[in-house]
């Protein structure tokens, strides 16, 4: 099994009630890779500009992340995002965003990565997601993320993508926007009609749900008081989920359920500190301990 992720690598500036962190590493592929690397080796595909300080990329040193697909693009600038959670820890306010390299062509997938069995297409333009998917030989499990921008403006391309993937991960607002349904179970069932075999709807501080033709699974959020920086929570969730799935023979209902629980738990480490610090200080043993605590916290 081999897990590939394509997504953003960026430089974030974060403001939260607990303080401000300028110029820290971020991006969907970074959080995903870190989270997934607790479970399996991750092949990262993404691009930064030549302005990206090498010190930031050293964040992958010692992690089980293959950065052969990390392109440092000459003449380009790195994606930057400045967000604030000062008003509400549950909702990021974008202070400033510079797409930079993300607005250019997709990064190339190295030939050695084309046989990847598990693929996560982090949120980006659905045309780029399809292009990257097309350059893979025969992935066993492809899961994608998306966002309101593409649902609103690129519905046709998004629908094409949805017929080519196995799973879709999105948040509650996006699921409602995509299907026009308020009830999330109904929305999930409608997503399945668009192509995916399963859909995961993330509800932030309220947990998540999984719907497939054969299963309906609901999870509360892990009850935590330690929320310092929610940046990357969704990508860490996806990383924990896909990392675990890449260790399983088949994405059975039982494997998918456990994958969502791992995703939930891994994300609690992310939000417990700024940027990657929470994940950097976590161990697989702690993750497994927290998974057991989570199970105890919801058993009756």
Residue from 73, 160, 164, 203 touching a second copy (CB under 8 A): that is 203
Nearer to a second copy, 61 or 225 (CB): 225
Q: What is the smallest separation between the CB atom of 220 and a second copy, expressed in angstroms?
A: 4
β-strand partners of 216: 211
Alpha carbon distance, N-terminus to C-terminus of the chain? 36
Q: What is the smallest separation between the CB atom of 90 and a second copy, expressed in angstroms?
A: 8
Residue from 51, 88, 115, 250 touching a second copy (CB under 8 A): that is 88
What are the two backbone dihedrals, phi and then psi, of residue 14, each rounded to the nearest 5 degrees? Answer: -115, 130
Asked if 184 is part of the footprint of a second copy (rule: CB under 8 A), the reply reads: yes
Nearer to a second copy, 11 or 259 (CB): 259
Q: What is the smallest separation between the CB atom of 224 and a second copy, expressed in angstroms?
A: 7
Provide the b/e sequence for 253-265 (b: ≥16 CB within 10 Å): beebebbbbbbbb
Q: How many residues bind a second copy (CB under 8 A)?
A: 35
Provide the b/e sequence for 81-90 (b: ≥16 CB within 10 Å): bbbbbeeebe
Q: What is the smallest separation between the CB atom of 209 and a second copy, expressed in angstroms?
A: 6
Closest residue by Cα to residue 243 from 18, 1, 6? 1
Q: What is the smallest separation between the CB atom of 219 and a second copy, expressed in angstroms?
A: 6
Q: Which of the stretches 45-53, 110-118, 139-147, 177-185 binds a second copy when contact is defined by CB under 8 A? A: 177-185
Nearer to a second copy, 219 or 282 (CB): 219
Residue from 192, 205, 247, 248 touching a second copy (CB under 8 A): that is 205
Nearer to a second copy, 14 or 45 (CB): 14
- Residue 227 has which token pair? 């929320």
Asked if 173 is part of the footprint of a second copy (rule: CB under 8 A), the reply reads: no
CA pseudo-torsion sign 89, 175, 233, 28: negative
Nearer to a second copy, 156 or 182 (CB): 182
Q: Which of the stretches 69-77, 102-110, 181-189, 275-283 binds a second copy when contact is defined by CB under 8 A? A: 181-189
Sequence-separated (6 or more) residues with CB below 8 Å from residue 205: 90, 221
Interface positions, 206-245, toward a second copy (CB under 8 A): 206-207, 209, 216-225, 227
What are the two backbone dihedrals, phi and then psi, of residue 156, each rounded to the nearest 5 degrees? Answer: -65, -45
- Residue 188 has which token pair? 């999930």
Q: Which residues here bind a second copy, judged by CB under 8 A?
A: 88-90, 182-186, 189, 203, 205-207, 209, 216-225, 227, 254, 257-258, 260-261, 295, 297-300
């Amino acid at each position: 099994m081999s897990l590939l992720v394509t997504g953003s690598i960026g430089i974030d500036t974060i403001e939260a009630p607990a303080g401000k962190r300028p110029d820290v590493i971020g991006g969907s592929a970074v959080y995903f890779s870190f989270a997934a690397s607790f479970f399996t080796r991750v092949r990262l595909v993404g691009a930064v500009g030549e302005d990206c300080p090498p010190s930031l990329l050293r964040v992958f040193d010692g992690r089980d992340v293959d950065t052969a697909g990390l392109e440092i693009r000459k003449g380009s600038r790195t994606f930057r995002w400045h967000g604030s959670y000062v008003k509400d820890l549950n909702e990021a306010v974008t202070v400033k965003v510079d797409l930079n390299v993300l607005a250019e062509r997709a990064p190339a997938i190295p030939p050695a990565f084309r046989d990847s069995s598990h693929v996560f297409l982090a949120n980006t333009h659905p045309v780029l997601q399809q292009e990257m998917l097309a350059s893979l030989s025969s992935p066993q499990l492809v899961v994608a993320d998306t966002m309101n921008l593409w649902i609103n403006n690129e519905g046709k391309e998004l629908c094409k993508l949805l017929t080519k993937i196995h799973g879709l991960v999105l948040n509650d607002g996006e699921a409602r926007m995509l299907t026009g349904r308020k009830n999330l179970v109904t929305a999930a069932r409608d997503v399945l009609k668009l192509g995916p075999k399963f859909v995961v709807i993330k509800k932030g501080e309220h947990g998540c749900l999984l719907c497939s033709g054969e299963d309906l699974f609901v999870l509360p959020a892990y009850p935590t008081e330690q929320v310092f920086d929610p940046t990357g929570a969704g990508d860490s969730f996806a990383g924990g989920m896909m990392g675990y799935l890449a260790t399983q023979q088949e994405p059975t209902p039982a494997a998918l359920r456990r994958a969502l629980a791992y995703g939930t738990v891994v994300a609690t480490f992310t939000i417990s500190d700024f940027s990657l610090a929470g994940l950097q200080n976590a161990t697989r043993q702690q993750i497994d301990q927290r998974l057991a605590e989570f199970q105890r916290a919801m058993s009756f």
